[in-house]
């Protein structure tokens, strides 16, 4: 009887530890899967940023909604390039906070500010708790290789401006 009174609580404690370990393993596997998905997304965005001629945050997103909030954080990041034949290519990553998903869209051109031939492109990434891009005037982007060179139409300044032109972008900004 004494052995049973010692073995029973010890067995229940071991069973509890085993259940916690199993839940912990499942949680670790889910966390590892999320970490892998995030790493793949960052790698894809980085590769696409290097291949793009321009990266920008439009005033309205591909679905016609305001793309940026009052703090200047935008829920969409658009890319532009031309292929070898000179044909323009546009694509965008749009974040939907209600579904916590990031969807990649492709479109052919902008007509009156709206995408032409808009279509979902690639896999939508789910379980994204936040995503934001912020506009920076090109004059505020530090590119060490350019030294003191100021891009045409831009002036370097250490003061901030209250107006950010729509066409400015930061191709090497890693704020995702």
pLDDT tens track for 67-110: 999 988 999 999 999 989 998 999 999 999 999 999 999 998 87
Stretch 172-176: mean pLDDT: 38
Q: Is 38 exposed, middle or buried (0-12, 13-18, 19+ CB in 10 A)?
A: middle
User: What sign results for the dihedral spanned by CA atoms 63, 80, 119, 43?
Assistant: negative
Does pTM top 0.85 for this prediction?
no
DSSP string covering 66-129: B-B-TTSEESEEEEEEE-TT--EEEEEEEEETTTTEEEEEEESEEETTEEES-EE-SPPEE---
Instruction: Give the integer Cα–Cα distance in Å for 17 and 21.
Output: 6
- pLDDT value at 37 more than 90: no
pLDDT tens track for 129-171: 888 988 877 777 777 777 777 666 554 433 333 333 333 334 4
What pLDDT, on a 0 to 100 scale, did the predictor assign at position 126? 87
């Amino acid at each position: 009887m004494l052995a049973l009174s010692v073995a029973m609580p010890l067995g229940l404690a071991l069973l509890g530890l085993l259940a916690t370990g199993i839940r912990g393993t499942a949680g670790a596997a889910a966390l590892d899967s999320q970490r892998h998905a995030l790493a793949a997304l960052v790698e894809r965005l980085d590769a696409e940023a290097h291949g793009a001629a321009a990266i920008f945050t439009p005033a309205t997103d591909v679905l016609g909604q305001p793309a940026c909030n009052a703090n200047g954080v935008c829920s969409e990041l658009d890319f532009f390039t031309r292929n070898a034949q000179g044909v323009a290519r546009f694509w965008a990553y749009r974040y939907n906070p209600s579904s916590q998903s990031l969807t990649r869209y492709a479109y052919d051109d902008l007509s009156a500010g709206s995408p032409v031939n808009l279509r979902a492109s690639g896999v939508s990434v789910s379980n994204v708790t936040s995503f934001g891009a912020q506009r920076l005037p090109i004059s505020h982007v530090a590119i060490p290789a350019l030294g003191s060179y100021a891009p045409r139409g831009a002036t370097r300044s250490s003061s901030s401006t209250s107006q950010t032109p729509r066409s400015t972008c930061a191709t090497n900004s890693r704020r995702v």
